[in-house]
Amino acid sequence: MKVLVIGAGGREHALAWRLSQSAGVEEVLVAPGNAGTALEAGMRNVDIAVDEFDALLNLVAQEKIGFTMVGPEVPLVAGIVDYFTQAGHACFGPSQAAAQLEGSKSFSKEFLARYDIPTAAYESFTDADKAKAFIHAQGVPIVIKADGLAAGKGVVVATSIQQAYSTVEAMLGEKALGDAGAKVVVEEFIAGEEATFICLCDGKTAIPFASSQDHKARDDGDTGPNTGGMGAYSPAPVIDAQMHQMVMQQVIEPTLAGMAADGIPYTGFLYAGLMITPQGQPKVIEFNCRFGDPEAQPVMMRLQSDLLEVCQKALAGELAGTQLAFDSRTAVGVVMAAGGYPQAYDQGEPISGLDKELFDTKVFHAGTAMHANEVVTNGGRVLCVVGLGSSVSNAQARAYERVDTIGWRNQYYRKDIGHRALNR
């Protein structure tokens, strides 16, 4: 069977790579893909953007594609799964209605409250003065979130009242984020350690992937500006067996049951971004309607199950009794970024060293492109280099050993990916 992966990032390279190893897969098409997916055996890029639904559907018909996997949230929230399904094509992901768990913070907060799923206390506002009065009453730190999709710019953890007020004024008053910020959620700040818990869902049943943790801050020691993620590792030791069970019982199972009871059963990858409080309580910080990036890179590195087969089971509503198998070793993924990211950075820099293979490592591409037979940088987060090892420190050493052999002008990466797991 031919399968299609929609997207262009490191997550899509990792998903496409695992799909290409599935027993039933003859070729993986990636739209639009990157240099990594262009060079991979059994893969082919097609130059169609993730929001060109008609062109994507034409491609599916022309190439007789049997299964489509959607990487990023934007096409999911815009309803690509409904569109493909109505055309009779197997497309893996949540419906537009179910994708609101990520697409609208007020939808997901209202859902969590109604089903008594642990999360931060909150209020929604469209009026800046009312939001400020609430902030004044609550005090800081406090968290302000744009209601809609804002490409990672929609969350501000305010540490002063002044910062909280100016965030509200920018979002609600000056419409700095457009429609995405026309409504805001103001919520309680929760202290603790973050972890990523992603499940494969068929509307009724959720099967967990191995846990993971990403590093959102740009610089070592979790300092500097917030980014899309500078690295990730799996498993996350903060999710021990007992915590795993609590997350399934208190978060995942009630979410699947609640969505089904509301008439919008959830099929696809469900990403729960959790805060594990010092008291050992998991709280939902956010839902995403897709796999994590860069979490997909270390998690796919460890996945041993046939990805196409389990996703087809999920689409058919037949996940009950399924288990996912993972390599018992730890995977650490280090993002190599363009210097300057997440602010301005250069593109088009030739990357050297990509051909130097190293056992138990894999380089997933994100912001790369082919330019006259050469791989060049084409984004802020350029590569994610994953190493496998029998311990966190072994996996980390392996990943950095490979990182050291790759380079381009003005590259940047964190030197401490995995530090929380190492310090345990």
Residues near ligand AMP, by CB under 6 A:
120, 143, 155, 157, 187-190, 194, 216, 273, 285-286
Q: Tell which residue, 236, 326, 324, has the closest CA to residue 272.
A: 236
229 binds, options ligand GLY, ligand AMP, none, Cβ within 5 to 8 A by partner type? ligand GLY
Q: Which x/- pattern, by CB under 6 A, does the window 208-227 give for ligand GLY?
A: ------x-------------
19 binds, options ligand GLY, ligand AMP, none, Cβ within 5 to 8 A by partner type? none
d(CA 324, CA 232): 20
143 binds, options ligand AMP, ligand GLY, none, Cβ within 5 to 8 A by partner type? ligand AMP
Nearer to ligand AMP, 295 or 349 (CB): 295
Nearer to ligand AMP, 115 or 189 (CB): 189
Residues 287-346 that bind ligand GLY (CB under 6 A): 288, 292-293, 295
The radius of gyration of the chain from alpha carbons, rounded to an integer in Å, stands at 21
Nearer to ligand GLY, 82 or 214 (CB): 214
Nearest approach, Cβ of 343 to ligand GLY (angstroms)? 19
Nearest approach, Cβ of 143 to ligand AMP (angstroms)? 4
Nearest approach, Cβ of 14 to ligand GLY (angstroms)? 12
The stretch among 22-30, 256-264, 286-294, 337-345 that binds ligand GLY (CB under 6 A) is: 286-294
Nearer to ligand AMP, 286 or 349 (CB): 286
Nearest approach, Cβ of 192 to ligand AMP (angstroms)? 8
295 binds, options ligand AMP, ligand GLY, none, Cβ within 5 to 8 A by partner type? ligand GLY
**Which residues are registered as beta bridge partners of 233?**
213, 332
Nearest approach, Cβ of 120 to ligand AMP (angstroms)? 4
In the bound state, the residue with its beta carbon closest to ligand GLY is 292
Nearest approach, Cβ of 110 to ligand GLY (angstroms)? 21
Nearer to ligand AMP, 2 or 153 (CB): 153
Nearer to ligand GLY, 98 or 198 (CB): 198
Instruction: Work out the number of other CB atoms within 10 angstroms of the CB of residue 216.
Output: 17
292 binds, options ligand GLY, ligand AMP, none, Cβ within 5 to 8 A by partner type? ligand GLY
Looking at 10, 229, 237, 379, which residue binds ligand GLY (CB under 6 A)? 229
The CA-based angle 419-121-104, given to 5 degrees, is 85
Binding region for ligand GLY (CB under 6 A): 214, 229, 288, 292-293, 295
